[in-house]
Amino acid sequence: MKCSGFPPLFLVFLSACWSCSATVADAAEQKPNVLLICVDDLRPELNCFGADYIQSPNIDALAARGRAFHRHYVQAPTCGASRYALLTGLYGPGSNNAIFGRAKLQAEDSAPVPPSMPAWFRKHGYTTVSVGKVSHYPGGRGGPDWNDEAIPEMPFSWDRHLMPVGPWQHPRGAMHGLANGEIRGDAGKMDVFQSTPGEDTIYPDGLTAETALEELRTLAADSTDKPFFLAVGYIRPHLPFGSPTKYFEPYEKAALPPIPHPEKPQGETTWHKSGEFMKYNRWDRDPNTDPEFATEVRKHYAACVTYADTQVGKLLSQLEASGVSDNTVVILWGDHGWHLGEHAVWGKHTLFEESLRSPLIVSYPGISEPGKSTNSMVETIDIFPTLCELAHLPMPEFAQGVSLVPILNDPAAPGHPAISYQTKTQTIRTDTHRLILHSNRPKELYDHTTPEGETRNLIEEQPELAGQLVKLLRERLPKQ
């Protein structure tokens, strides 16, 4: 997918954003370190994002000393395409093979392919390390078990890219692993959720956390001579929803709020049958027709969020203990949202709000108005230029996002419309509306200022507005 360029007004906004230069490096002679934390399938199901029944104290504490972006939208509702946008700063293909497709182009001729975000930092003097699931496959390699050194997902990007696997044998086993080394073979024979007594390391993210702590200690010790860009990716709360029992116990008797708009939408939309969820063993139960089962699923998802939050907390504690927190930019990013029954969907892969909105938190010493969240609309591709400005690196001219430093300086500063896509479908989200443009089906138009939100298609009632949004969308992305 090739971007056809930004509209004039957007370029003015882009220029204004890049003119700001209040960064964390202003307070230090050396370049700041970067700690990027990626959490898989994490919707804004966090206490600091308004889900007061969720226990997420470590991420909440990060938000309290940084800036939480409450209207951050990913480029795609699927792991590979969303992480492509994060790691390149570019709109791209909507498929899960987006990153490997880029690697194939680099193997043929690397010159025309813009460098990735970690490659850009590496080029400018950083040690770059990834641990866990940062690109699409945990560990960043291909092959049958995702551990083939000859098939990197992100060539020229990492000094080290690591994936501890323990009893799960290989990254493929860890990706969908349950307790104590259980590997997914036939998904129908693996439980969709699980709660097992034990330490954090009985699930794969516990091992990822331990390796990340080791890397952080090493990188911090060397950071006076060379700054680091450390990216750590946690798998939970990705399916199957497994976590140590201690994380499920707080939710066993918890009262959860009702699921908003749980009905299947009418008309042609991006609704689907929740195949990724339904293929697991569900004991012949369907959360769309069994409210008690729906609640159980939601509680196990919540337990996985709290488990992931604990792994984040370990990393942040080690950052403090290593003595480099006063010169480190921390980003926490969810790779996309996840439906928990809204629109009768249990999963991602739609272009509804629940699939596309995810948490984004930016924190660094000296941030203006720490703890004050923002409702300014932003996109994942904005992270690359933001980190470059905060680190005083040259701004990558090829990046298609804008720096968020103006919003980091002032949480009331304006945002901009957000673009997302699947392989054959595109959407634009403005402050008030969402337009979904299909290649071979009627359009969808939703008004977020009304109680109906994304349950009432207004395409027949507001054709002029739809036309304006189609024009803006096609100025940013090519016609399909």
Token pair of 376 as six digits: 């300014």
Identity of residue 418: A
Q: Which of 392, 415, 438 is the last residue of a domain?
A: 415
Residues 465, 476 contacting (CB under 8 angstroms): no
CA angle 383, 53, 355 (to 5 degrees): 40
Q: What is the pLDDT of residues 174-191, one digit of tens each?
A: 999 999 999 999 999 999
Separation of alpha carbons 299 and 297, rounded Å: 5
Residue % of the chain over a pLDDT of 70: 93
Other C-beta atoms closer than 10 Å to the C-beta of 36 total 22
Given a cut of 60, whether residue 12 has pLDDT beyond it is no
Is 1 contained in some domain?
no
Instruction: Kindly state whether residues 327 and 456 are assigned to the same domain.
Output: no
pLDDT at 14: 37
Per-residue pLDDT band for 479 (boundaries 50, 70, 90) equals low
Helix (H, G, I), strand (E, B) or coil at 150: strand
Q: What is the pLDDT of residues 409-461, one digit of tens each?
A: 999 999 999 999 999 999 999 999 999 999 888 999 999 999 999 999 999 99
In the residue annotation, 48 being an active-site residue is answered as no
Separation of alpha carbons 2 and 95, rounded Å: 14
Separation of alpha carbons 369 and 35, rounded Å: 21
Per-residue pLDDT band for 226 (boundaries 50, 70, 90) equals very high
Residue with tokens 């409450």: 70
What pTM was computed for the model? 0.94
Given a cut of 60, whether residue 331 has pLDDT beyond it is yes
Identity of residue 21: S
Identity of residue 463: P
Instruction: Kindly state whether residues 435 and 394 are assigned to the same domain.
Output: no
Identity of residue 66: G
Instruction: Kindly state whether residues 59 and 205 are assigned to the same domain.
Output: yes
Separation of alpha carbons 414 and 428, rounded Å: 17
Q: Which of 360, 392, 415 is the last residue of a domain?
A: 415
Instruction: Kindly state whether residues 448 and 325 are assigned to the same domain.
Output: no
Instruction: Kindly state whether residues 368 and 454 are assigned to the same domain.
Output: no
Instruction: Kindly state whether residues 465 and 363 are assigned to the same domain.
Output: no
Helix (H, G, I), strand (E, B) or coil at 28: coil
Separation of alpha carbons 135 and 118, rounded Å: 11
* Sequence-separated (6 or more) residues with CB below 8 Å from residue 320: none
* Sequence-separated (6 or more) residues with CB below 8 Å from residue 242: 177, 178, 179, 191, 193, 194, 195, 196, 203, 236, 300, 304
Is 395 contained in some domain?
yes
pLDDT at 29: 60
* Burial class of residue 376, CB neighbours in 10 A (0-12, 13-18, 19+): buried
Residues 132, 234 contacting (CB under 8 angstroms): yes
Is 320 contained in some domain?
yes
Average pLDDT over residues 299-312: 98
Average pLDDT over residues 100-105: 96
Per annotation, catalytic residue among 136, 161, 238, 433: 136
Residue % of the chain over a pLDDT of 90: 91
pLDDT at 28: 41
Is 3 contained in some domain?
no
| H or E stretch at 103 | helix 98-108
Q: What's the order of all strands across the beta sheet hosting 160-162?
A: 67-69, 360-363, 328-334, 33-39, 228-234, 127-132, 160-162
CA 130 to chain CA mean position, Å: 15
Q: Which of 367, 390, 415 is the last residue of a domain?
A: 415
pLDDT at 30: 81
Instruction: Kindly state whether residues 406 and 323 are assigned to the same domain.
Output: yes
**CA distances in angstroms from 389 to 175, 386, 408, 413, listed in the order given:** 34, 5, 11, 17
Q: What is the pLDDT of residues 385-405, one digit of tens each?
A: 999 999 999 999 999 999 999
Is 2 contained in some domain?
no
The total number of residues written for the chain in this structure: 480
Given a cut of 80, whether residue 144 has pLDDT beyond it is yes
In the residue annotation, 79 being an active-site residue is answered as yes
Closest CA to 115 of 415, 399, 467: 399
Is 348 contained in some domain?
yes
Q: What is the CATH number of the domain that holds 302?
A: 3.40.720.10
Given a cut of 80, whether residue 26 has pLDDT beyond it is no
Is 322 contained in some domain?
yes
Q: What is the pLDDT of residues 27-66, one digit of tens each?
A: 446 899 999 999 999 999 999 999 999 999 999 999 999 9
Q: What is the CA radius of gyration of the chain?
A: 21
Instruction: Kindly state whether residues 408 and 436 are assigned to the same domain.
Output: no
Residue 255's region, left for phi above 0, alpha for psi from -120 to 50, else beta, is: beta
H-helix segments, 322-459: 353-356, 383-390, 405-409
Max CA distance (Å), the chain: 61
Per-residue pLDDT band for 478 (boundaries 50, 70, 90) equals low
Average pLDDT, the chain: 93
Instruction: Kindly state whether residues 35 and 165 are assigned to the same domain.
Output: yes
Do β-strands 228-234 and 160-162 pair in parallel, antiparallel, or remain unpaired?
unpaired
Separation of alpha carbons 398 and 407, rounded Å: 22
Residues 364, 66 contacting (CB under 8 angstroms): yes
Given a cut of 80, whether residue 92 has pLDDT beyond it is yes
Is 324 contained in some domain?
yes
Instruction: Kindly state whether residues 295 and 389 are assigned to the same domain.
Output: yes
Per annotation, catalytic residue among 79, 300, 336, 433: 79
| Domain membership of residue 98 as a residue range | 8-415
pLDDT at 440: 87
Residues 300, 44 contacting (CB under 8 angstroms): no
Instruction: Kindly state whether residues 384 and 461 are assigned to the same domain.
Output: no
Q: What is the pLDDT of residues 342-374, one digit of tens each?
A: 999 999 999 999 999 999 999 999 999 999 999
pLDDT at 350: 98
Q: Which residues of 413-424 are buried (b: 16+ CB within 10 A; e: fewer)?
A: bebbbbbbbbee
* Tally of domains in the chain: 2
* Sequence-separated (6 or more) residues with CB below 8 Å from residue 470: 435, 437, 443
Instruction: Kindly state whether residues 337 and 445 are assigned to the same domain.
Output: no
